[in-house]
Structure 1
Amino acid sequence: MTSSPMATPYDPHGPSSPGPGTTGQTDQLRAAVDRSFDQTLRRLKDLVAIPGIAWPSFDRAPLERSAEAVAELLRDAGLDEVQTLTCPKPDGTPGGPAVVARRPAAPGKPTILLYAHHDVQPPGDEALWETQPFTAVEKDGRLYGRGAADDKAGIMAHIAAYAAVSEVVGELGLGVTFFFEGEEEAGSPTFRPFLEANRELLRADVIVVADSSNWKVGVPALTTSLRGLVDGTIEVQVLDHAVHSGMYGGPVLDAPTLLSRLIATLHDDDGNVAIEGLVATDNAAVDLPEADYRADASVLDGVRLAGTGSIASRLWTKPALSIIGFDAPAVDVASNTLLPRARAKFSLRLAPGQDPAAAMEAVGRHVEANAPFGAKVIFTPGESGNPFQTDTASPAARLAMWALGEAWGVPAVETGIGGSIPFIADLLELYPEVQILVTGVEDPDSRAHSANESLHLGDFRHAILAEALMLARLNSGGLDVQPG
């Protein structure tokens, strides 16, 4: 999904061009967003400077500073009920600090919950960055820095949209709850108990999860499907202890070799996942040109793409299995030894409609049935999360599609995402009547989780306006409002 011809470098300090047909309140909200955009951008840069990482191996102090900075932004936006809350992990240590702020609804008005997360991924190998990871840098219409897109821009989009609506509309009857999580990048380990402990505080009619991507620069999208996820480890044991490869090599194969043979059975010759019992469909509503996918995923020339069916279906509605970790000695310290055991971690993305428990069982059956040369195979299940599919006929979804198209000036796309947001299943289980919208500020060039993460500033401005339009319409007409 490379940039379209309309995706010229964006001047964040210049005027914003209204899309076709924008009148009345849309123009007022656009002007309000534009007036405050420089301030919004400065605040986003300040957030990027805080390396709040929720992984246990990192210092927790920056994560606490990140939560306090977000809480202060909410107070500045006029929210009185701002709390920083935590929930203990199973081992008794505190979970990541979540920031919650509320403006209660007037009688008869709905409540919308605006979700994002303030924690970020570790920077990784800083030698791969062209800028300092935690120093926000503007270049060619983009803002570079860890968290600039994922997901501190989501936080600022929510706050800026609320501020714009408050400026234009005045006193809101719409209930608005901000929920900014502090451990999403660490797998949201306390999300479910946090929800259960704060069930009424977070109750809403509509939830907007601002942690996804648009179709491409200049074209907005509502994410209507997400793949689920299961992961775990596969260990192969072949010897009781390591032995000399010269003295004993030949009659027995080492554990890394046998594990590699087992891993090779996970895909067929075309690269499709070869585990029986997994849901897979080829019914994506739109497709992605191969050249765009190759460019976005940085596929090397000559590498053949894996799988069959449309590329969009391979990304959104079919399973995808990756080996994301491998325990074996590093090359620089390797000795002439037959290794007795080797272990790999797998990550399996699940198509919408797949039960994660059934998928985990299917992986376990497969690795046990394909144990190479009679080696001992130990399968250890890990985390799991449900896939998600939006009811695109819901009032909230129709309103979102209108608002996105109005803000960008081009029709919005209903798109799937190959990634997973497992906590959405918890939201639906605790609030079965809620309408969930998955939006975002990212684009295919954002490189979330990678070096040189960035945010397209033009699309960021449009995302703020789109959410402001949604808030204004919900405030005036509730969930019965007709978009357009």
Structure 2
Amino acid sequence: MNARDPSLPLQADELSGLADFAASAWDEEIVPALTDYIAIPAKSPMFDADWAKHGYIDRVTRDAAAWVESKKVAGLKLEVIRVEGRTPVIFFEVPATKSGSTDTICLYGHLDKQPEFSGWRSDLGPWTPKYENGLLYGRGGADDGYAVYAAITAILALDKQGIPRPRCVGIIESCEESGSSDLPIYIDMLRERLGNVSLVVCLDSGAGNYDQLWLTTSLRGMVSGVLKVEVLTEGIHSGDASGLVPSSFRILRQVLDRLEDSKTGRLLPDSFHCEVPAARVAQARATAAILQDEVWKRYPWSCGADGAFTLPTTTDPVEGLLNRTWRPTLSVTGVEGFPDLGNAGNVLRPYTAFKLSLRLPPLIDGNEASLKLKTLLEDNAPYNAKVTFVPDGRAGALGATGWNTPELSPWLDQALNEASNAHFGAPLGYIGQGGTIPLMSMLQKGFPKAQMMVCGVLGPKSNAHGPNEFLHVPYGKRLTAAVAQVMAAHP
């Protein structure tokens, strides 16, 4: 055990030591490892049905595990756990260096990726890593392949300086982009080995800017699936049938009108809404004061015919923050049943299918919402058409439930602010995120007394899931040092 008194705050030389170690590790080891990682198309099972045959997920898992073991962390135990037919999970544990500590810090990340998407810059690509001006471009580096590398580096940064810390465990999954549907099986298997988890550090989130540490205070839930409307068994001449055979697309529009007000985007069923807690409204106001119009100006808006930019749903920063974090929203993310424009003849199509992504407020149960959505869309179909909605969920989970962080304990609130000031020169920012991390609600239920540090490198224009995704390496360096400092402050 270390001789340093853990009750003493970190000194200036120790803080600079954390920062220097993290920066050096990123330059010499993490960026090269992530460059190799980005080049591997380890798409999540939802987007690669033959993931097991292709072997890409297994490869990035093996590479990450080998990298961790090569760091020779004292007392490290690592296991790649595989259940037949399921994606693998890396589980590691490192004993405490703080005398008398019985608590555990759980660090989380994932290695699976979203699909390619279109629109990449001509010199970039999803599987073509490029490091330019501090930005590492390519799919998955920021979302969030870096997590396991940053987590181990934070542990090493403390151990190299003899700064005491609690026991640490890591869960690195490879099914997050498919809703973490494999993860509950592994959590049940690992429950006893996890120990007394009192702090969860999740590195799969975002940042309001690159100027301070940001704590994620909430995550939306999600129901995704395929809505399909069928009217014919085969396509027929549109001149012969249109006006008599109803358009599958028109029927689909009518069905969606049950769910969404197309003029405003508001979701119509009250059951998909919840009251926003007063504390989250207050935090949204504080964050809006920091970010101001950058809340909406950060997006790559297109220009209209008159050269003016497309406008957001609101230019009020507070309302914008609440819209993207606490209010339900529907997106259509894919279509089927349409030929491409070059092959679009005068044919009335037999069916139309939309891939729907319904983001839910953090307090709405994902499974219940999925069942209600299915009933809403399928019942009483116009023209007696065949209307089906099939959720994407696997392993019995029809939808993902969101998460609202418990009240911060005084020690964590202080530690986060001190870490932000030490490594960014600015106080901690609080922000809700519109994305979904199913693990957080799972861990909250399993460890109801645990504190949650949810953060990440996905700041402005980093564009996870879209074209030109990048990892802001300078921010990653500072975030790694900040995580180490918070771990050291664990009481």
- Figure out how many residues of one structure are paired with residues of the other and give that number: 449
- Structure 2 contact 230–386 (Cα < 8 Å) conserved: yes
- How many Å separate the matches in 2 of 1:293 and 1:470? 31
Matched residue SS, 1:169: coil
1:252 aligns with 2:245: yes
Q: Which amino acid aligns with 2:149?
A: M
Taking a change above 3 Å as real, the CA distance of residues 127 and 39 of structure 1, as seen in their structure-2 partners, is closer
Looking at structure 1, the residues matched to 439 and 252 of structure 2 have their Cα atoms a distance apart, in angstroms, of 32
- The 3-state SS of whatever aligns with 1:458 is helix
SS at match of 2:143: coil
| Alpha-carbon distance in structure 2 between the residues aligned to 1:266 and 1:297 | 27
1:229-273 C-alpha deviation (Å, 9 max, x unpaired): 112232223346544332332133221222133334433222212
- Could you say which residue in structure 1 is the equivalent of 2:78? 82
- Contact 1:97–1:181 (Cα < 8 Å) also in 2: yes
Q: Bigger shift: 52-61 or 448-457?
A: 52-61
Distance 2:161 2:11 in 1: 15
Q: Show the counterpart of 1:6.
A: none
1:45 aligns with 2:60: no
Unpaired stretches in structure 2, ≥5 consecutive residues: 1-9, 394-398
- 1:182 alignment partner, one of 174, 184, 190: 174
Three-state SS of the structure 2 residue aligned to 1:251 is: coil
Amino acid at match of 2:373: V
Change (3 A) 1:434 1:299: farther
Aligned to 1:296: 299
Q: Structure 1 stretches of 5 or more lacking a match? A: 1-20, 479-484
C-alpha distance in 1 between matches for 2:365 and 2:132: 43
Q: How far does residue 30 in structure 1 lie from its aligned partner after superposition? A: 2.3
2:387 to 377, 383, 402: 377
Structure 1 residue 317: Cα displacement:
0.8
Are the structure 2 counterparts of residues 357 and 135 from structure 1 closer, same or farther at C-alpha, using a change threshold of 3 Å?
closer
In structure 2, what is the Cα distance between the partners aligned to 1:155 and 1:214? 18
Q: Matches of 2:383 and 2:441 in 1, distance apart?
A: 40
**Partners of 2:295 and 2:321 within 8 A in 1:** no
Correspondence for 1:394 = 409
Amino acid at match of 1:310: E
Q: Helix, strand or coil for the counterpart of 2:222?
A: strand
Q: What's the counterpart of residue 218 of structure 1?
A: 211
| 1:184 to 1:302, Cα distance in 2 relative to 1, 3 A | same
**Structure 2 vs 1, CA of residues 252 and 147 (structure 1 numbering), >3 Å: closer, same or farther?**
closer
Output the CA distance in 2 between the equivalents of 1:246 and 1:368.
29
Q: Is the 8 A contact 1:206 1:396 kept in 2?
A: no
Q: From the superposition, tell whether residues 378 and 123 of structure 1 become closer, same or farther in structure 2 (CA, over 3 Å).
A: closer
Residue matched to 1:104 = 95
Give the aligned partner of residue 438 of structure 2: 422
Query: In 2 relative to 1, CA 76–290 (structure 1 residues): closer, same or farther, beyond 3 Å?
Result: same
* Structure 1 contact 234–345 (Cα < 8 Å) conserved: yes
CA contact (8 A) 1:98 1:179 kept: yes
Deviations 1:117-170 (A, max 9, x none): 122233334864532433432212212222221112222221221111111126
TM-score by length of 2: 0.83
Preserved CA contact (<8 Å) 1:355 1:386: yes
Match of 1:354 in 2: 364
The question of whether the paired residues in 2 share the 8 Å contact of 1:54 and 1:96 is answered with no
Distance of aligned partners of 1:438 and 1:129 in 2 relative to their CA distance in 1, 3 Å threshold = farther
Provide the rounded CA distance (Å) in 1 between the counterparts of 2:102 and 2:16: 25
Question: What's the C-alpha RMSD, in Å, of the aligned pairs?
Answer: 2.7
Aligned mates of 1:466, 1:218 — CA distance in 2: 13
Alpha-carbon contact 2:120-2:468 (below 8 Å) kept? no
Identical columns (%):
27
Q: Is the CA contact (8 Å cut-off) linking 1:213 and 1:223 kept in structure 2?
A: yes
2:453 counterpart letter in structure 1: L
Query: Residue 226 of structure 1: CA displacement?
Result: 0.4
Offset at 1:365? 4.3
What SS does structure 2 have at the residue aligned with 1:82?
A: strand
What is the distance in 2 between the residues matched to 1:235 and 1:50? 33
Residues 400-415 of structure 1 mapped to structure 2, 5 A cutoff: 400-415=416-431
Q: What amino acid does structure 1 have at the position aligned with 2:176?
A: E
Aligned pair partner of 1:72 in 66, 85, 89: 66
**CA shift for structure 1 position 298:** 3.0
1:325 matched to 2:328? The reply is no
- CA shift for structure 1 position 225: 0.4
